[in-house]
Amino acid sequence: MVAESDPESKATLATCLRRGYDRHMACAMRLTGEPLESLEKLVRLVHGTLERKGKVLACGNGGSASDAQHFAAELVGRYCEERTPLPALALNADGSILTCLSNDYGYEQVFARQVGAYGRSGDLLLAISTTGRSPNIVRALEAARAQGLETAALLGRDGGPAKALASLAVVVPDEETARIQECHGLMLHLLCEGLDLLLKQTRNV
């Protein structure tokens, strides 16, 4: 076991952390072109959905599941400033429903089945995936399109099959899962900031 005071150990750890930080910053800087333009469109899409009295359904796996729940919480609760609650639901949040659907229909159907239960024309499905290749994400987008929902996705890498299924895709141009998830978190916060701005302009809330 290497002692914490060992100079070589400290140097190695510092290098590791600096390398991760530098990769994060490089990834974030690549968002300033097309991804940021797509994010602006997503803000307006979410805003338009809410103005039409629609709701936002969000879903993801693993870290992306956490992002979906985080985003829904920001809408139902608040982001920075006090405002009226906004209708949003994370489809990965209910363990009983997930295990029921996984057991009875297979995990690839856990979100699509809920889209069938909760989704209505005028609602928006926001799918979050670092690869865009998860079968349950693909099935959810297919189900949403079939039911007349708006579809959007936060993706990474080349966007995978989900990119073609989403009416609006925001893609983080990176190959590393951790960096993509970090940028998804940033973009969701920016989405909330932009949404609060538009709501203040249109609802004065």
Model confidence at 203: pLDDT above 90: no
What is the per-residue pLDDT for 3?
Answer: 53
Would you list the domain boundaries of the chain?
Answer: 7-203
CA 41 to chain CA centroid, nearest Å: 15
Say how far apart CA 63 and CA 98 lie, in whole Å. 16
What is the average per-residue pLDDT within 111-131?
A: 98
What is the average per-residue pLDDT within 179-203?
A: 96
pLDDT tens for 72-84 read 999 999 999 899 9
pTM for the predicted model, two decimal places:
0.93
Neighbours of 154 (CB within 10 A): 34
What's phi and psi for 151, nearest 5 deg? -130, 135
CA 103 to chain CA centroid, nearest Å: 25
Superfamily of chain region 7-203:
Glucose-6-phosphate isomerase like protein; domain 1 (3.40.50.10490)
Per DSSP, which regions of 8-102 are E strands? Answer: 56-59, 88-90
pLDDT tens for 166-176 read 999 999 999 99
Q: What angle do CA 89, 93, 94 make, to 5 degrees?
A: 110
